[in-house]
A and B are shown apart, each in its own frame.
Chain A
Amino acid sequence: MRGRMEFSQNHLLGIEPLRPAEITTILDLAEEYVALNRSSEKHATVLEGMTQINMFFESSTRTQASFELAGKRLGADVMNMSMAHSSLKKGETLIDTALTLNAMHPDLLVVRHASSGAVNLLAEKVNCAVLNAGDGKHEHPTQALLDALTIRRKKGRLHRLVVAICGDIAHSRVARSNLILLGKMENRIRLIGPPTLMPKGVEEFGVEVYDDMRAGLEGADVVMMLRLQRERMDGGFVPSEREYFHRYGLDAEKLAHAKEDAIVMHPGPMNRGVEIDGAIADDINRSVIQEQVEMGVAVRMAAMDLLARNLRRARERARLREAADG
Chain B
Amino acid sequence: MLWFHNARLIDPEQGGDKIGSLLVRDGQIMEHDGPCPEAAEAIDCHGKCLAPGIVDMGVQVGEPGAQHKESLRTAGLAAARGGVTTIVMRPDTDPAIDTPEVLEYVTRRAQARTPVHIRAMAALTRGRAGREMAEIGFLLDAGAVAFTDGDRVVTDTKLLSRCMSYARGLGALIIGHPQDAGLAAGACASSGKFASLKGLPAVSPMAERMGLDRDMGLVEMTGVRYHADQITTARSLPALQRAKRNGLDVTAGISIHHLMLNEFDVGDYRTFFKFTPPLRSEDDRRAMVQAVAEGVIDVICSMHTPQDEESKRLPFEEAAPGAVGLETLLPAAMRLYHSEGLSLPQIWRALALNPAQRLGLPAGRLSSGAPADLVLFDPDAPFILDRFKLQSKSKNTPFDEARMQGRVLASYVAGACVYAREQEDA
A interface with B by C-beta (< 8 Å) = 16, 93-95, 113, 115-118, 120-121, 135-139, 170, 173, 176, 199-202, 204-205, 234
Contacts and interface: CB of A to CB of B under 8 A. Distances in A.
For the complex of A and B, the 7 pairs showing the least CB-CB separation, nearest first, are A117-B269, A137-B199, A138-B199, A115-B315, A201-B193, A199-B196, A116-B199
Contacts of A176: 196-197, 199
Nearest to A199: B196
A16 B268 CA distance: 12
A120 B268 contact: yes
A201 B194 contact: yes
Contact of B268 (A95, A117, A135, A201): A117
Interface in B166-200: 186, 191-200
A204 B281 CA distance: 14
B183 to A, nearest CB: 12
A94 B197 CA distance: 23
Contacts, number: 73
Interface of B: 186, 191-202, 204, 268-269, 310, 313-318
Contacts of A135: 199
28 contacts: A93-B310, A115-B318, A116-B200, A116-B269, A116-B315, A117-B198, A117-B268, A117-B269, A117-B315, A117-B317, A120-B269, A121-B269, A121-B315, A136-B199, A136-B317, A137-B200, A137-B201, A138-B198, A138-B199, A170-B196, A173-B199, A176-B199, A200-B192, A200-B193, A200-B196, A201-B195, A202-B196, A205-B196
B34 to A, nearest CB: 62
A95 B313 contact: yes
Contacts of B199: 116-117, 135-139, 173, 176
B195 A200 contact: yes
Contacts of B193: 200-202, 204-205
Given A93-B310, A115-B315, A117-B315, A201 B191 contact: yes
Contacts of B186: 234
Nearest to B268: A120
A155 to B, nearest CB: 27
B315 A200 contact: no
B313 to A, nearest CB: 5
Given A95-B314, A116-B315, 8 more contacts: A93-B313, A95-B313, A113-B315, A117-B200, A138-B199, A200-B193, A201-B192, A201-B195
A105 to B, nearest CB: 22
A121 B317 CA distance: 12
Given A200-B204, A201-B191, A201-B192, A116 B314 contact: no
Contacts of A200: 191-193, 195-196, 202, 204
A191 to B, nearest CB: 11
A27 B189 CA distance: 34
A48 B149 CA distance: 59
Contact of A94 (B195, B201, B202, B314): B314
- Which of the listed residues B192, B198, B201 has the most CB atoms from chain A within 10 Å of its own CB? B198
Contacts of A115: 315-318
A234 B310 CA distance: 28
A16 B317 CA distance: 20
Contact of B314 (A93, A136, A170, A205): A93
A199 B196 CA distance: 6
A88 B316 CA distance: 17
Contacts of A113: 315
Contacts of B198: 116-117, 138
Contacts of B201: 137
A12 B199 CA distance: 17
Given A116-B269, A117-B269, A94 B315 contact: yes
Contacts of A199: 196
A234 B314 CA distance: 23
A205 B193 CA distance: 7
Given A117-B269, A120-B269, A121-B269, A201 B196 contact: yes
A254 B346 CA distance: 63
A118 B191 contact: no
Nearest to B310: A93
A199 B199 CA distance: 9
A117 B199 CA distance: 8
A92 to B, nearest CB: 11
Contacts of B202: 200
A115 B201 CA distance: 10
Contacts of B197: 16, 176, 205
B258 to A, nearest CB: 20
A173 B192 CA distance: 16
A116 B314 CA distance: 11
A26 B200 CA distance: 28
B272 to A, nearest CB: 13
Contacts of B204: 200
B18 to A, nearest CB: 48
A212 B195 CA distance: 25
B394 to A, nearest CB: 17
B84 to A, nearest CB: 33
A199 B201 CA distance: 10
A199 B202 CA distance: 10
A205 B197 CA distance: 9
